[in-house]
Each structure stands twice: as structure tokens, then as C-alpha cells.
Structure 1
Amino acid sequence: MPERLLILGSTSRYRRELLERLALPFEVVAPEVDETPLPGESPRDLALRLARAKAWAVARRHPQAVVIGSDQVADLAGEPLGKPGDHARAVAQLRRMRGRTVVFQTALAVVCEATGFDSVELASVQVVFRDLSDAEIERYLRTEQPYDCAGSARSEGLGISLLERIDSDDPTALIGLPLIRTCRLLRAAGMTLP
């Protein structure tokens, strides 16, 4: 029996690059989901809801496929921090995070409408930021411009210099797609991996 089509329901280049590591053929489809947080929604619940919503938005259009949806929300003492989008917001985020622990809530959903498979998991990554000076923040942002990253720091790049410590059981979760969990859920959905 041939493998089902695998689809990444995401426009994130970081997630696409991570999924390519698994050497599986896949397509990318934009999920087109409203990512506005619900009133009172915790960062954890927001990430879980959006990962599942993204996967199902694509699965409804491709019911025979196995679809991956993922979302990441930076959690600063219960407050969700999204992608800054511009320099001023990135400066504000990094100033608030300096010397503090931020939990990056990375949710993963794998679904297949045809088989009824629907599973979602959360990978929480605790990141301790150094007590950054304003000059360090400016130099970093001018160099890397991580305006499309939750929490304004790209740990797989120069952003690693902003950090004191990372605690995680799935090192790729901080980049945006927890590959250990992805492999587990893809196998459970019937996909063949090495």
C-alpha cells in the first residue's frame, strides 16, 4: 500500500527546513487560520489550539493526506509573546525578557481525515535569557533581524548568544517543530520513517 501524501500545514521556512531533515517527501500548504488569541487564553492553550486548527484547515482540503500543524508561543509569566514583526516591538520584547525565563510552548498536531487520526502534543522549552544590555539587543537585532520569530530570538543563529540556558527534551522544539514528537506521531499515523 502506498504511503499517504504528507503535508506540512505551515508557511514557516523554519518548520519546512526542520521537516526536510527527515528525508520524507512532503508538500507545503498554507493553513489560513486566524491566530488571534481568545480572551483569557493561556500561551499553552493558544499554541495547542492553533496547531490543531492549522492541521485541520489543511486536512479538510486534503482528506487523504497526513497533515502536520504546529504553532509556537513564547510564554513570559503567562503572557503570550508572538512574532514582533518589526524592530521596535523586538526591542521591547527582548528588554522584557532579559534576565528572565521564557517558556516557548511549541505545539504539534498530526491529523488525517480519512483515517480519523488526530493527535496533538506540546513541547515546552525553558529558555533563560542573559541580562542583556540595550547595546547588545540593538547589535543583535541589527545583525539578525529575527522579526518573524516568536520572542525575537533565533536560537539556531546568533540569537544563541542572548541565552544563558535552554532546557528541553526535544532540541528542535525551540526552532518551531519538535522532530522527536513529529517522528512519533507520524509513525502512529501510519507513515514509514527510518
Structure 2
Amino acid sequence: MSIAQRALILGSTSRYRRELLQRLRVPFDVVSPEVDETPLPDETPLALATRLAKAKAKAVAALHPNAVVIGSDQVADLNGEPLGKPGTHERAVLQLQRMRGQTVVFQTAVSVVCQASGFEQTELAQIKVRFRDLSDAEIDAYLRAEEPYDCAGSAKSEGLGIALLDAIDNDDPTALIGLPMIRTARLLRAAGIDLLGAIKP
């Protein structure tokens, strides 16, 4: 089996990552990585995102050794403190109250692993996001409108959440949504996946 014929698997249950990967028009399966995402003691947001992206890719690759597997993770970094998915309205309110007027770095790591070929590479996108000095009323109105409780940092920049922001500094446009597609495509090419050659007319 040549590497170009290998199955592609997204080791994530995130609908945002699935929708982004579909842009490449390459068939892929989705497998839940079953990885504990609890931060280690004193682990930085950058280290946490990188470790979890690698762990997710490796966990799925262990189950599907002939496949090329993508793992990814994103951690919102507020002055060195990791902020995860809020899960509830109340926690999302607290996150946005803490982030208003602040610059938050979204650490987004992507790892590609193929156990059979020995391929393993990881890249990191760091997106600086400056939040407006939001009022409590604006925060509550936004959260009730978009309910971004499954998003690190409690906001969807691709939706109404853009109204919360003053600026985004990012060299990989989809990284803030959860999967840096420029870096992902680069890693897949390095793993032997011919993205454009795989497209059928």
C-alpha cells in the first residue's frame, strides 16, 4: 500500500474541525480519540495544546496503524492561564468578563501521525485576539444568541462572536475556528497525501 492510498482519519468529534477538513475534498473518517484533556500541574496553555494534539493523533493511530491520523487541540491562553470550553452559560459569562479588554492567545496545535510509515509531525498556530471592553449586557446578549458553550474562549469568530473583537492577528485563517488548515495541508502533504491529485473531476 502506498502512502497516497492510506485512509485519512480525523481524531476528533468536533463538528467545527470536521467541517473545516471537508474543505479539502478528501474522504476521511472520524474517530473519537478518548484522551483525558485534564491539564497537568503547572502546564502552560501552549504545552497543553501541543500535548493533547499529539495524544489524540497517537491514540487513534494505535487503533488504525495504516491510516494517516489528524489530532488537534485548542487552548485559550489568558496571561498564561488555560481557558477551556465553558460548557455552561454561567461559566461562559465569567470567561468573557475576564477576557474583555484583554488580548487572548489561542494556542491551536495540529498533529499528523501514521504509525505504519513512522510519520509524526506537529505544528502550532498562535492566534492573538483582542477583545473589546464588553459590557455585561453585551456579553449576556451574545451568549444567548450564539450559545458558544463548546468553544474555547466562549466565542465563535466565524459567527456573531466577531462583534466582540477589536482585532485578530493570525497567519492561518481557520486556526481560530479549531483547525489551522494551512498547517494541516502542509502536514498531510509531508505524510504523503496528494491533496490536489486526489480530487476527482
Partner residue in 2 for 1:117: 119
For residues 145 and 57 of structure 2, the distance between their equivalents in structure 1, rounded to whole angstroms, comes to 34
- The CA deviation at 1:187 is 0.3
For residues 11 and 174 of structure 2, the distance between their equivalents in structure 1, rounded to whole angstroms, comes to 18
Partner residue in 2 for 1:129: 131
For residues 166 and 135 of structure 1, the distance between their equivalents in structure 2, rounded to whole angstroms, comes to 23
Q: How many residues align?
A: 194
Q: How high is the TM-score relative to the length of structure 2?
A: 0.96
- 1:152 counterpart (130, 151, 154): 154
Counterpart AA for 2:179: L
For residues 154 and 3 of structure 1, the distance between their equivalents in structure 2, rounded to whole angstroms, comes to 35
Counterpart AA for 2:140: E
Partner residue in 2 for 1:72: 74
1:54-89 superposed Cα distances (whole Å, 9 cap, x missing partner):
000000000000000000000000000000000000
- The CA deviation at 1:109 is 0.1
Point out where structure 1 has 5 or more consecutive residues left out of the alignment: none
For residues 130 and 77 of structure 1, the distance between their equivalents in structure 2, rounded to whole angstroms, comes to 16
- The CA deviation at 1:91 is 0.1
Q: How high is the TM-score relative to the length of structure 1?
A: 0.99
Partner residue in 2 for 1:106: 108
Counterpart AA for 1:179: M
Partner residue in 2 for 1:82: 84
- The CA deviation at 1:185 is 0.3
Partner residue in 1 for 2:199: none
Considering only aligned residues, what root-mean-square deviation do their CA atoms show, in Å? 0.6
